[in-house]
Amino acid sequence: MSSDVLQASRGLSPPKGEAIAIKGISKRFGSIVGVDNVDLHVEAGEFLSLLGPSGSGKTTLLMMLAGFETPSSGSITLGSRDLTHVPPNKRGIGMVFQRYALFPHMSVAQNVAFPLKMRGLAKAEIAPLVEQALARVRLQDYGGRAPAQLSGGQQQRVAVARALVFQPPVLLMDEPLGALDKKLREELQIEIKTLHASLGVTIIYVTHDQEEALTMSDRIAVMDKGRIQQLGSPVSLYHEPNSSFVADFIGKMNFLKGIVSGLDDRSIAITVSGQTISVARSQLGGRDDVAIGRPVQIAARPESLSPTQNGEGAIAGDIETTIFLGSHRTLIVRSDDGTQLQVQVPSSHRDSGVEQRGRAFVRLDPGAVRVFAGED
């Protein structure tokens, strides 16, 4: 019986998570590169999400961490242990899949007990650990049921309990909420985040849902083409993306074409849709090769645009449609130069004078945009 499980069976505090060091990891499938020379350090107890579109390499990277894929090169270290070539059942890592992977012929309690049985624990030792694990996911009264008698959300919680029952230092989650409806998915996001805070386990979470990653993560690694394009906190990625790809992938974003019309050590003047705005050089993401007369791309969140009755200094256009989203409305505006803009207006502003359709003027907040140089 391992010392960690022994601690849990005696009612002691669960062990904290361990750090993971990924160095130069690559995975090739013939001529196709799935993961390309990735370096990543995950802090002990951190909740880190791997976020990216299909084919970005996030799941392949997770499978190498789990031991289900063998790296073509590089190393994986958990704490002081080299896991690079350790088989999955020897890694001591918990894993939760999108499709639950519960055994249909076993009860809920038997499913949760399975990892403990594989580790050679006696029945008397297993029972309290299973009870504790089910209580953590609020299913303590469901141990005798079959998986088929549970809802999708309940089945996923059983899968989480099974992954945590042997007190692993690391929990890997591969799109675990992807099969659930939006409301249930949002509820389980909060449950998983709360569980993480109480246990201190290290979680690496794969998702293609950027809202999910923003909600749950301490840090996010945005992946594309097998590489990490940017790594940072949800706030930094949302407000300070380093490329148009990250800007577009994290949250909703408007992109406007501009031309540099002035330049000094601290600021950049940009002409966009017939108006000139001034932005700080610190708002420049990616390459710092701006020059007067060169094109730039301005990235502006919908909340950094606002409708105005005064056309002076504003972008003129026509409202194509209005979308009501509860806490806010989104105006879809087609500017006079043909650019489609999303403008977010709080629903509480009922008397703002914003029409459902017709002519509109949109003011851009220069201090809330991101600028990318050399992008047509």
* pLDDT (mean) for 197-219: 93
Q: Is the dihedral of CA 341, 270, 374, 236 positive or negative?
A: negative
Question: CATH 2.40.50.140 residue ranges in the chain?
Answer: 255-373
Residues 318 and 362 sit within 8 Å (Cβ to Cβ): no
Cβ atoms of 209 and 179 closer than 8 Å:
no
Is residue 47 within 8 A of residue 193, CB to CB? The reply is: yes
pLDDT surpassing 50 at residue 5: no
CA dist 104 to 111, 137, 145, Å?
A: 9, 19, 10
DSSP conformational letter for 25: E
For 293, the 3-state DSSP assignment is coil
Residue 31: predicted pLDDT: 92
Beta bridge partners of 373: 296
Q: And the tokens for 21?
A: 């060091």
Integer Cα distance of 86 and 67 in angstroms? 7
State residue 11's pLDDT score.
Answer: 44
CB burial class (10 A; 0-12, 13-18, 19+) of residue 368? middle
> Among 123-132, 137-146, 172-181, 199-208, which stretch is predicted with the lowest mean pLDDT?
172-181
Residue 41 to residue 48: CA distance in whole angstroms: 10
Contact call for residues 244 and 255 (beta carbons, < 8 A)? yes
- Cα atoms in the 13 Å half-sphere on the side-chain side of 201: 27
User: pLDDT for 82-96, tens place per residue?
Assistant: 999 999 989 999 999
pTM, 2 dp: 0.87
Rounded to 5 degrees, φ, ψ at 123 are -55, -40
Tokens found for residue 34: 């799935």
Q: For 105-141, how does the pLDDT look when each residue is reduced to its tens digit (9 = 90+)?
A: 999 999 999 999 888 888 889 999 999 999 988 899 9
pLDDT band at 294 (very low <50, low <70, confident <90, very high): very high
Residue pair 172/93 in contact by the 8 Å Cβ criterion: yes
Q: Which helix (H) or strand (E) holds 257?
A: strand 254-263
Question: How many C-beta atoms surround the C-beta of residue 240 within 10 A?
Answer: 16
CATH architecture of 255-373: Beta Barrel (2.40)
Confidence of residue 177 (pLDDT cuts 50, 70, 90): confident
375 is written with which tokens? 């992008």
- Name residue 42's beta-bridge partners: 20
For residues 339 and 360, the answer to whether their CB atoms sit within 8 Å is no
pLDDT in tens, 311-368: 777 888 899 998 888 888 899 999 888 899 999 988 765 545 555 668 888 999 999 9
Cα-based torsion angle of the residue sequence 80, 86, 88, 89 in order, rounded to the nearest 10 degrees: -90
Mean pLDDT of 178-189: 84
CATH superfamily of 3-245: P-loop containing nucleotide triphosphate hydrolases (3.40.50.300)
Residue 114 makes CB contacts below 8 A (sequence gap 6+) with 103, 106, 162
In the chain, which segments carry CATH 3.40.50.300? Answer: 3-245
Q: E-assigned strands of 43-169?
A: 47-51, 73-78, 81-82, 94-96
